[in-house]
Amino acid sequence: MEAVSCRCYQFNLLLVMLFVTADIISTVEFNHSGELLATGDKGGRVVIFQQELESKNQPQCRGEYNVYSTFQSHEPEFDYLKSLEIEEKINKIRWLPQKNAAQFLLSTNDKTIKLWKISERDKRPEGYNLKEEDGRYRDPTTVTTLRVPVFQPMDLMVEASPRRVFANAHTYHINSISVNSDCETYLSADDLRINLWNLEITDRSFNIVDIKPVNMEELTEVITAAEFHPNQCNTFVYSSSKGTIRLCDMRASALCDQHSKLFEEPEDPSNRSFFSEIISSISDVKFSHSGRYMMTRDYLSVKIWDLNMESRPVETYQVHEYLRSKLCSLYENDCIFDKFECCWNGNDSVVMTGSYNNFFRMFDRGYRQDVTLEASRESSKPRSVLKPRKVCTGGKRKKDEISVDSLDFNKKILHTAWHPQDNIIAVATTNNLYIFQDKL
């Protein structure tokens, strides 16, 4: 199914909601309908927002999200064997497709994955005649009538309960989880291994990729991200710190150390430097909704790959090429190791990723246009359209442009998410969550 290129994406984005969180946001994810938006933070908490239903009185309120549920997913732990703390920070959240009234999501920290059930309760049974006023049970011999309790409405209560805990399967830090299209299994990936789980079974997982060398001192490459194919339940990809992506078919063998396809772009010799490898490290990989393409994010660019062509990407978008001459400074202050995520819009025509100075970038694949926008309170008045931003790379700085040297590298947008159907995006700065929607 080919992606349909729609109208020109000169986004008229309005700030709809702004949430200030208690802790640094570490992951953002819409559910499959887009009605719910989950965020995880450094303190191990999950906050879920729900979209308000369209109201006839105020049609422009579609897209407003309000807090739906908050719960503590993970707690800090201490590994006594290694004398090291295990952070409670939520690395990833992935929603399961909805099967019944309840919602399910997987959340993970560095070591443990948990399946959470989020359910609503808005009625309760009332009218029992088995208890006294004060709550004590009546003497059964005094009960002479049979009364069937009736469900009465009550204030909506949203409950989150942990249904499964998948622990002790990862020696290294988990960076990705991905639910299979079969809705029965999911994968979890750490720096050196990928495990396959059944959602029902917590005490067993199958190792499907292992790149750990026999001698750890020979280690030169780690796994950075992994994802199941959206349609083919036997296919998954994983990316590495050397800028390669491997596509694996689980039908080929139990251990998928031998890839089916290896996606790698040859290095450009004119751009070679001591930092070449570091900036080629892939921080995120995402399949398109169609399953025909996948997108990778490395430090300076976003690349779109056709799954049928391994030799090079079909499209490359420069996110912030002006940083190429600053790589040494960015190495000094560790910014070069920042892991930016990327995402597709609903029909795969636009891709989005974050940058520094609270900028985020959108690339329209069809119209070959891109835009830089800013998520900040100063530049985002509610209901006013976001103004495109521009970074001045040299020479005279025009009005409204910002020079490279003025960029704030502490303000980084690592996590962004796009509603599966509508033009609603969620953008996380350090501890602010911005929700923008397209002007109706």
Partner 1 sequence: MYSKGTKRKFYDSVDAATDNKAALYSRQRQSLLDMSLIKLQLCHMLVEPNMCRSVLIANTVRHIQEEMTHDGSWQLVTEAFGSSGPSDHLVATEVLCRSSALEQQGGGPKLYSVMGYDGCREEEVVTDEALCSVTFSGGAPSLLGTIDHCWDRAELRMAAVEDRVIKDSGSEVESGEGAKTVMGQVFGTFEIKNGAPGSDPALEELFSAVDASYYDLDTMLTSIQSTPKMGPYNLLDSMASSHGPTSNSSCRTDLSELDHIMEIIVGS
In 109-184, beta strands by DSSP E: 113-126, 150-166, 176-179
CA neighbor of 428 nearest in space, from 12, 41, 31: 41
Q: Which is nearer to partner 1, 192 or 342 (by Cβ)?
A: 192
Q: How far is the CB of 321 from partner 1 (least distance, A)?
A: 13
Cα separation, 325 vs 197, in Å, equals: 44
Q: Which is nearer to partner 1, 89 or 229 (by Cβ)?
A: 89
Instruction: DSSP letter for 137, please.
Output: B
Site string for partner 1, 317-356 (x = CB under 8 A): -------xxxxxxxxxxxx-x-------------------
CA neighbor of 412 nearest in space, from 319, 344, 329: 319
Amino acid symbol at 421: Q
Among 7, 82, 368, 399, binds partner 1 (CB under 8 A): 82
Cα separation, 30 vs 98, in Å, equals: 13
- Please report, as residue ranges, which positions from 401 to 420 form the binding site for partner 1 (by CB under 8 A): 404-405, 408-410
Q: Which is nearer to partner 1, 292 or 324 (by Cβ)?
A: 324
CA neighbor of 48 nearest in space, from 25, 30, 61, 64: 30
Among 109, 281, 288, 437, binds partner 1 (CB under 8 A): 281
Question: Helix and strand tally (H, E) in the chain?
Answer: 2, 32
Among 158, 211, 222, 385, binds partner 1 (CB under 8 A): 222
- β-pairing, 401-403 vs 390-392, is parallel
Q: How far is the CB of 284 from partner 1 (least distance, A)?
A: 13
Q: Rule CB under 8 A: say whether 168 interacts with partner 1.
A: no
**How many residues form the binding site for partner 1 (CB under 8 A)?**
52
Among 171, 231, 253, 258, binds partner 1 (CB under 8 A): 171
Start-to-end CA distance of the chain, whole Å, equals: 28
- Please report, as residue ranges, which positions from 223 to 252 form the binding site for partner 1 (by CB under 8 A): 224, 241
Site string for partner 1, 96-115 (x = CB under 8 A): --------------x-----
The number of angstroms, rounded, from the C-alpha of 405 to the middle of its chain's C-alpha atoms is: 30
Q: How far is the CB of 54 from partner 1 (least distance, A)?
A: 41
Amino acid symbol at 266: P
In 52-129, beta strands by DSSP E: 65-72, 77-79, 84-86, 92-95, 103-108, 113-126
Name beta bridge partners: 40.
Answer: 27, 46
Q: Which is nearer to partner 1, 35 or 87 (by Cβ)?
A: 87
CA neighbor of 73 nearest in space, from 112, 99, 120: 112
Among 57, 83, 141, 144, binds partner 1 (CB under 8 A): 83
Q: Rule CB under 8 A: say whether 220 interacts with partner 1.
A: yes
Among 275, 301, 306, 376, binds partner 1 (CB under 8 A): 275
Among 142, 145, 215, 308, binds partner 1 (CB under 8 A): 215
Q: What are 134's two structure tokens? A: 């004060």
Q: Which is nearer to partner 1, 84 or 143 (by Cβ)?
A: 84
Residues of this chain that interact with partner 1 (CB under 8 A) are 80-87, 110, 171-173, 191-192, 215-222, 224, 241, 269-275, 277-278, 281, 324-335, 337, 404-405, 408-410
